Amino acid sequence: DIQMTQSPSSLSASVGDRVTITCRANGDIHNYLAWLQQKPGKAPESLIYAASSLQSGVPSRFSGSRSGTDFTLTISSLQPEDFATYYCQQYNLFPPTFGQGTRLEIK
């Protein structure tokens, strides 16, 4: 199975900050990488697919990029509703696998 490694595992930031979360795959997943947001007690919601395409309805402060097998989620200016846990997911190879999550907390 493809292993997805996220960093950092947790992060403290303030409203208005620019935040970056990284995900690395241990194999070639091309651009088949999604980012999801999960708030406590809620279902995950898709933010980004194909490494950099924004899911419909997602604010433009979220963006994604790829460099080889490294993928990055950037939030350009944190809003109060962005404090949540973020997961990356590869969907190129079976079975689909997820990173361990990055918990974004208010500083």
Partner 1 sequence: EVQLVESGGGLVQPGGSLRLSCAASGFTFNNYWLHWLRQVPGKGLVWVARINNDGSSISYADSVKGRFTMSRDNAKNTGDLQMNSLRAEDTAVYYCARSNPALAVYYLDYWGQGILVTVSS
Residue 57 or 68: the one with the smaller Cβ distance to partner 1 is 57
Residue 63 or 92: the one with the smaller Cβ distance to partner 1 is 92
Does 89 bind partner 1 (CB under 8 A)? Our answer is: yes
Neighbouring C-beta atoms of residue 51, cutoff 10 Å: 21
3-state class (DSSP) for residue 12: strand
Task: Give phi and psi for 69, each to the nearest 5.
Answer: -100, 10
Stretch that binds partner 1, among 13-21, 62-70, 71-79, 98-106 (CB under 8 A): 98-106
Does 32 bind partner 1 (CB under 8 A)? Our answer is: yes
Does 46 bind partner 1 (CB under 8 A)? Our answer is: yes
3-state class (DSSP) for residue 2: coil
Task: Give phi and psi for 81, each to the nearest 5.
Answer: -80, -5
Residue ranges binding partner 1 (CB under 8 A): 32, 34, 36, 42-46, 49-50, 55, 87, 89, 91, 94-101
